[in-house]
Structure 1
Amino acid sequence: MLSLHGPEGALAPSEAGGAAVPTQAVWIDLNDPTPEEARAVEEATGVRVPSRKALSEVESSSRLRRLKNGLSLSTPMITFESTDSVLNPLGFVLTKDHLVTVRFHELRAFAEVRKRVHEGEEAKTGIAVFLLLMEELVDSLADSLEDMGAELDRLSTRIFDFDVRARPAKSDEAAPPRRRDLALRRILRGIARRGKVLGKIRASLLGLERIVPFVAGACEQVLAQEETDARFETIRRDIESLDEFETRLSENVQFLLDAALGLINIEQNNVFRVLTVVSVVGVPPTLIASMYGMNFKHMPELDWAYGYPYALSLILASAIIPIVVFRIKGWF
């Protein structure tokens, strides 16, 4: 889809030539463009519109390039679709007269910039629109990190209140093992999902962190723009602060993962403890029963009238005594 924006707001494609680009267009936004739309933009601007494959290159030399009459930039950018997060390439082709953006997913930052331009925000040059986009992209990532921080706080409460939450309502008894296992599985999945999202946010921040100083350094020389460095510096500082915030959140995710694994180890130890108690309780009765099951001719208890009740009582006592001892020690 092709969207055109001039200094005063949105523009319509020229009727002549179908998707032809008006000369007054400053910002040309291509969302999953068709070959016809890409050709029309190339004819109007004189620059090549990069493909999705080209924008997906990971080398710094491919993501930050100087062209004959401008700059070619690309970065991965996170977006949220339903309950999942997706990392798609985002491209910028910046010249003296135009800004061409190439994307393959909806981004809230683009809608906010269109709104700001419509409300009268200055967007007379491509670099002005580029700065607006950088500000909104950074703000969008900041909102995502704030939401992630709140989610991690809720997840932390679930983990450290696990024993309380795992108890049935109006009961002091622990929840069944199956229910506790399912709760721990949900916690682990929640930690994994948030860790994955943080990784994608970090990749987005890293891309913007490389783009901003590159454009600031080439702004006057390549684009012939006398833009002050104040806005570039503000964006750079915002990205640095978000980097630090993301690092703390990543450390928090690792801490919660360790805590969840610690809970799993405790649950496993509880199972092994029960098995140990059962095996210890079963050893003395087995020993007594096996002893009286031996086929020896001279066994005093065989001729004793109370030999059988005596053996049964001995077996029962040997099972009860360990249970009482373990109960007193609080093993179960």
Structure 2
Amino acid sequence: MISLHGPQGAVDHGGSGSDGSLPAQTVWIDLNDPTAEEAAKVERTTGIRIPSRSALSEVESSSRLRRNRDGLSLSTPMVTFDRSDFSLKPLGFLLTADHFVTVRYHDMRAFAAVRKRVDDGDGDGSTSTRMFLLVVEELVDNLADLLEEMSGDLDNLSTRIFDFDAGARPGARKGDATAPKRRDLALRRLLRSVGRHGKSLAKVRASLLGLGRITAFVKNECDQALGEDDLPRFDTLGQDIASLDEFETRLSDTVQFLLDATLGLINIEQNNAFRVLTVVSVVGVPPTLVASIYGMNFKHMPELDWAYGYPYGLALIAVSAVLPLVFFRVKGWL
């Protein structure tokens, strides 16, 4: 889909004038998941070569930041901002003296916000560079909001991890055979949640890194053409991206800390299981020893002639089983 925008707002969502050329007031050309025909139409009317999706997805810096005869060709991976389908998709910027072209493959509220700002007269889109600044500023704001949401999610996740106690939850009873299964399921969910946050932060970091490189590149390449009001905006953008990068680093450290804590809880649960098995095996040794002794087929065994020899043997077996349990209980192992 093609949409056109000028300093006063939307120009012509059809993509071209009646003679096939762009309206004179067009500054920003937004291509949202363009077809080959739409890309070719923009190339014919502007002379700007529109890169393919595969070209925008290339990872080397020379392909993402490039000056050509048409102007500047820029690309970066950008998060989808959809928490239900959080992924990276390519985003392309083409910047010339007259036009600013964006090529994207998913809807982003930043673009809708920029359109509204221009329509309401709240943003200066009189030149291609200023329109570029509006889009990048809105993207940085959205990334900041996303990081704030993730910070809140990590706080909640931290509470869940460090207050983890399956026995204290409603419906969990002491001795309930299903409690270990519930604890195992809860720990699996915590581990998956920590992993999802780690992956999401890595994608946000890739987006911030790409925007930081693009902003610095455009500032250096267009230094002579920038107005006095534009340079401070580039400097502010650079500072905002740097601060968000530091914030993301702290959140990544928090994710690593929560991952270690979750793995520690899993180790504790495993140790508890092994402790129970160890106690059971130790408790079973003395009765087995007593039964083995009285199960020997010797001819002369005094207890065989006792009237209460059989109850005596049973009592001895019971006492030998109870004494280890009492010992472990006193030591606090049970």
TM-score range, shorter chain: over 0.9
What secondary structure does 1:210 align onto?
helix
Deviation at 1:97, TM superposition (A): 0.2
Going from structure 1 to structure 2, the CA distance change for 1:38 and 1:171 (only over 3 Å counts) comes to closer
SS at match of 2:98: coil
2:193 pairs with one of 171, 190, 193: 190
In the superposition, the TM-score normalised over structure 2's length comes to: 0.94
> Using a 3 Å threshold, how does the CA distance of structure 1 residues 319 and 255 change in structure 2: closer, same or farther?
same
Q: Which residue of 1 aligns with 2:88?
A: 87
Matches for 1:134-173 after TM superposition, within 5 Å: 134-163=136-165, 166-169=167-170, 173=174
- Local SS of the residue matching 1:256: helix
User: What CA deviation, in whole Å up to 9, does each residue of 1:210-236 have, x standing for no partner?
Assistant: 001100001145xx4445410000000
In structure 1, how many angstroms separate the alpha carbons of the residues matched to 2:272 and 2:171? Answer: 23
Cα distance in 1 for residues equivalent to 2:263 and 2:188: 11
- AA partner of residue 198 (structure 1): L
Task: Report the counterpart of residue 22 of structure 2 in structure 1.
Answer: 21
In the TM superposition, 1:92-107 aligns within 5 A as 92-107=93-108
Summarize the Cα distance change of 1:166–1:68 in structure 2 as closer, same or farther, 3 Å threshold.
farther
User: Does the CA contact (< 8 Å) of 1:75 and 1:89 recur in 2?
Assistant: yes
Structure 1 stretch 305-314 or stretch 210-219: which is displaced more? 305-314
Deviations 1:217-270 (A, max 9, x none): 01145xx44454100000000000000000000000000000111111111111
- 1:240 alignment partner, one of 226, 239, 242: 242
Mean alpha-carbon deviation: is it higher for 193-202 or for 22-31?
22-31
Q: Distance in 1 between matches of 2:131 and 2:268?
A: 55
Which of 326, 329, 333 is 1:327 aligned to? 329
> Using the alignment, how far apart are the partners of 1:168 and 1:293 within structure 2?
48
Cα offset, 1:172, TM superposition: 7.6
Which residue is 1:210 aligned to? 213
**CA-CA distance at 1:50 after TM superposition:** 0.6
CA pair 198-82 structure 1, distance change in 2 beyond 3 A: closer
Contact 1:71–1:95, Cα closer than 8 Å, also in 2: yes
Distance 2:105 2:162 in 1: 41
> For residues 173-231 of structure 1, what are the alpha-carbon distances to aligned partners after superposition, in whole Å with 9 as ceiling and x for unaligned?
4871111111111111110111110000000000011001100001145xx44454100
- 3-state SS, counterpart of residue 80 of structure 2: strand
Judged with a 3 Å threshold, the aligned counterparts in structure 2 of structure 1 residues 80 and 270 are, in CA distance, closer, same or farther, namely same
Contact 1:191 1:257 in 2 (8 A): yes
Which sits farther off after the overlay, 63-72 or 288-297?
288-297
Output the CA distance in 1 between the equivalents of 2:62 and 2:70: 17
Q: TM-score, normalised by structure 1?
A: 0.95
Q: Is residue 167–residue 173 contact of structure 2 (8 Å, CA) maintained in 1?
A: no
Match of 1:181 in 2: 184
Amino acid of the structure 2 residue aligned with 1:235:
L
Matched letter for residue 117 of structure 1: V
Match of 1:67 in 2: 68
- Tell me, yes or no, if the aligned pair for 1:21 and 1:40 is still in contact at 8 Å: no
For residues 19-46 of structure 1, give each alpha carbon's deviation from its aligned partner in whole angstroms, at most 9, with x where no partner exists: x533321100000001111011111211
Deviation beyond 2 Å, 4+ runs, structure 1: 13-18, 20-24, 168-175, 224-228
Gaps of 5+ in 1: none
Q: Where does residue 264 of structure 1 map in the other structure?
A: 266
Relative distance call for 1:11 and 1:161 in structure 2 (3 A) is: same
Cα distance change, pair 296–126 in 1 and its aligned pair in 2 (3 A): same
Query: What is the letter of the counterpart of residue 4 of structure 1?
Result: L
Question: Which stretch of the first structure deviates more once superposed, 106-115 or 76-85?
Answer: 76-85
Q: CA deviation at 1:328?
A: 1.6
1: CA distance between counterparts of 2:140 and 2:198?
20
Pair 1:171–1:2, CA change in 2 (3 A): closer
Q: Which amino acid aligns with 1:317?
A: V
Distance in 2 of aligned mates of 1:280 and 1:95: 80
1:219 and 1:226 in contact (8 A); partners too:
no
Cα contact 1:96–1:225 (8 A) shared by 2: no
Tell me the amino acid that sits aligned with residue 30 of structure 1: L
How many angstroms does 1:17 deviate by? Answer: 6.2
Partner Cα distance (1:103, 1:300) in 2: 94
**Structure 1 residues 230, 305: CA separation in 2 closer, same or farther (over 3 Å shift)?**
same
CA distance in structure 1 between the aligned counterparts of 2:141 and 2:99, rounded to whole angstroms: 23
Contact 2:81 2:108 in 1 (8 A): no
CA-based RMSD: 1.7
